[in-house]
Amino acid sequence: EAEVAQSPRYKITEKSQAVAFWCDPISGHATLYWYRQILGQGPELLVQFQDESVVDDSQLPKDRFSAERLKGVDSTLKIQPAELGDSAMYLCASSTQNGRSEAFFGQGTRLTVV
């Protein structure tokens, strides 16, 4: 069964350092989401792509976060510089039809900023 792949699974970084996460969605899924989830909270949408285009990045802290999906397939989310408050689970998900179809999630990357 096809899965959304994310790496790394865990990442510990010092504050002010740069960190990057990678996501490979299910083949053929045009929509790709990056969510951030703080313990005890629901996933918060950071950025959404439709193919290679950004559809929604209104909640992305653009002074330190960036995301790209250059060929409309895999995607990278970067934080530079990392802050203590960025410690969270970063989840990638993909779907065939934006918010009106089921989303398939990866295992997530657990980021700890020290």
Partner 1 sequence: SQKIEQNSEALNIQEGKTATLTCNYTNYSPAYLQWYRQDPGRGPVFLLLIRENEKEKRKERLKVTFDTTLKQSLFHITASQPADSATYLCALDNQAGTALIFGKGTTLSVSS
Q: Which residues bind to partner 1, rule: CB under 8 A?
A: 4, 33, 35, 40-45, 48, 50, 55-56, 91, 93, 95, 98-108, 110
Closest separation in Å from C-beta 59 to partner 1: 10
Cβ-based nearer residue to partner 1, 50 or 66: 50
Cβ-based nearer residue to partner 1, 18 or 54: 54
Contact 24, 4 (CB under 8 A): yes
Closest separation in Å from C-beta 18 to partner 1: 24
Closest separation in Å from C-beta 27 to partner 1: 18
Q: Which amino acid would we find at residue 99? A: G
Residue with tokens 């295992």: 107
Contacts of 24 (CB under 8 A, 6+ apart): 4, 5, 6, 73, 74
Cβ-based nearer residue to partner 1, 23 or 82: 23
Contact 72, 51 (CB under 8 A): yes
The size of the chain, in residues, is 114
